[in-house]
Structure 1
């Protein structure tokens, strides 16, 4: 039988960037079948996703073709008499800058002083977490999690979804149109959390800023109007608003972050030629949204701040910038720490030697928001650190993957045990 280490290595060898998940998902479904899961598969409907606030309004802008999501189900005892717990992971990964890597990003490499760190794209975000979910479910079935596993009623569903990095294509589809012939009671998303329980995730609004100046020859640049000073004025105004929001918008799970609701100018493109005054600038901006806020509310704050900058500038008043949404939006999400799935995770953490069980907040978004929006209480917990996600030479500490497998198995046992009389 395939073990967790081999499963993870094989999964990491698939290049699942840019919507290319199909081969990996076929492999995952075959492995799940071999391991005794009842399997399901679904593909998102772009028309349905276009109605969802996370996605563009034009279905043509949502890539869903040949991007299946798959799941495996294990049933325990009288499955209908107990709860259903979803263990969710995504199979897609972000692109790589190969020149920044010291090894092939799609050939898993064991590194570190004792060879306990696994390097590959997706090692932390989040194929190792997905593997931990698969083998946690198997451990529960095989009675490895605890001798009290016998007599459980309920189901464990392990999901391998597509397109999380593009807004949660597979997870959103699964919550809009349930792919299973049963309801789901709770979920655990195995994103990298440093083995801590995350119950709140931040939202984001993605905006594109377009500024217009006036071009001129570099030799007479004073007759032109460079967009760069105007951009700097906007940037400083937005960063001032970020600082104000850090003080005025508070949340008990976000006090540890120096910038709880960050803004990031991810791309800036200006000018057309080194000898010409830059007359066009396009910047793509990610803006953080706190749990309890909405994307629309925070977007309106930044639009109002931009309007103030424009009003103070004769040039911008005469040549108003555009500031429009693009790509995907992430609503924030939060699960009540008193939910049974949170308590089950905390109990599972203590049982398996993890002492820091207090709920945490995260400054990133995750597929958990789709389940929360569908009324499915969800906690985020997994191996690895977010600091390795999207990073060159991305690694995960392998003992943490084994720990996650054990803890998730204990969590599932406790959740099914507590809910078997539902």
Structure 2
């Protein structure tokens, strides 16, 4: 019965195309309605834009501690992907549920909401459904200070990202930046009379690649991550308007995934020193208004493996496993860990299916999730 209800709710959620660029309000309203019917106390927290919101809800006794079940409501776009069916119309076939968000991560949300109406928790069970995780964990970053201001701190949290129902106790952080270069345009026949923003963007990228090598040498001896060091990736380089024009504007989009926060500080301080001490003086010798500005898209803390982690131990017991793993992808988990919660990532589906055409979650994965949630929520 719970499985069928979960599949039906998931079908409704998939039909709500909550791509990060668009509103999630219809989905938030539906989830709030469902949870209120289950007896939950709900609070819709509007984003500054007014078109998106986080949902915070609680069932069980009003007391300190308890359990947090968290998931993001937004999904990635489907443009330029070769889907064999409508991505926003869930399709059931071959013991799988197809549709954008089935795996990442509306399947977990549907299971948690349905189970809210089935259990009688001994301790508080909280639900946090956020906006804009896919573009920098923006909703969760807004939620955390709100919870702190209200004195709300569950003892442990489960972030239901797709892990194949494996218990995940750690992942790297994710820091994303766009660096903007402003130079001086001119005729390509005399490059020395201008400041070529594209050339300086290339120098900047070369310095980041040098730092990438430094980071490999800084890998902690005990690191369990793969690769074990902090990584830097150059995602996009653009600039200029034509072959024969000195480029006046350029951009570099890049990211790093720190193993430890000291690595993030090392990279930022090193690249800032390079810009201030070498690049800008060269540029401004020719054009005083030349500039290099780095825009922070998002800086998300990693989930650090902890020696003591009640959430890990509880889920391992429920799932019959003796180990917890690490993953390379990022989640909102580190934000809740920084609040002082014991946190794990565990949910139905596999990350290999996320963000791709014909995204799917296996029905067996949904069954396993429901089987885990019932005792977890009852005994929280």
User: Is the contact made by 2:31 and 2:113 (CA closer than 8 Å) also made in structure 1?
Assistant: no
Q: Identify the residue that residue 21 of structure 1 maps to in structure 2.
A: 24
Matched, 1:197 2:167: yes
Distance (Å, rounded) in 1 between the aligned partners of 2:46 and 2:305: 25
Choose the corresponding residue for 2:369, options 385, 398, 404.
404
Matched, 1:286 2:266: no
Residue 124 of structure 2 aligns to a residue in which SS? Answer: strand
User: Is the contact made by 2:173 and 2:300 (CA closer than 8 Å) also made in structure 1?
Assistant: yes
Matched, 1:87 2:69: yes
Return the offset for 1:410.
3.7
Residue 294 of structure 2 aligns to a residue in which SS? Answer: strand
Residue 111 of structure 2 aligns to a residue in which SS? Answer: helix
Residue 158 of structure 1 aligns to a residue in which SS? Answer: strand
User: Is the contact made by 1:289 and 1:298 (CA closer than 8 Å) also made in structure 2?
Assistant: no
Superposition pairs of residues 22-421 of structure 1, within 5 angstroms: 22-34=25-37, 36-44=38-46, 63-75=48-60, 79=61, 83-111=65-93, 115-138=94-117, 140-141=119-120, 153-178=122-147, 183-212=153-182, 215-217=185-187, 220=189, 226-250=196-220, 252=222, 254-255=224-225, 257-258=226-227, 260-273=229-242, 275-293=244-262, 295-304=264-273, 306=275, 310=279, 322-334=292-304, 336-350=306-320, 355=321, 357-413=322-378, 416=380
Return the offset for 1:347.
0.6
Matched residue count: 373
Return the offset for 1:251.
6.9
Distance (Å, rounded) in 1 between the aligned partners of 2:151 and 2:207: 51
Q: Identify the residue that residue 420 of structure 1 maps to in structure 2.
A: none
**Residues 25-80 of structure 1 deviation map (CA, whole Å, 9 limit, x = unaligned):** 1111222233x2313023156xxxxxxxxxxxxxxxxx4413232244332xxx36
**Residues 354-409 of structure 1 deviation map (CA, whole Å, 9 limit, x = unaligned):** x4x52333333322222222222221111223333333433333322322222233
163 and 345 in structure 1: CA distance in 2 versus 1, 3 angstrom threshold = same
Return the offset for 1:227.
4.4
Q: Identify the residue that residue 48 of structure 1 maps to in structure 2.
A: none
TM-score scaled by length of structure 1: 0.76
TM-score scaled by length of structure 2: 0.83
User: Is the contact made by 2:311 and 2:343 (CA closer than 8 Å) also made in structure 1?
Assistant: yes
| Unmatched runs of 5 consecutive residues or more in structure 1 | 46-62, 142-151, 417-422
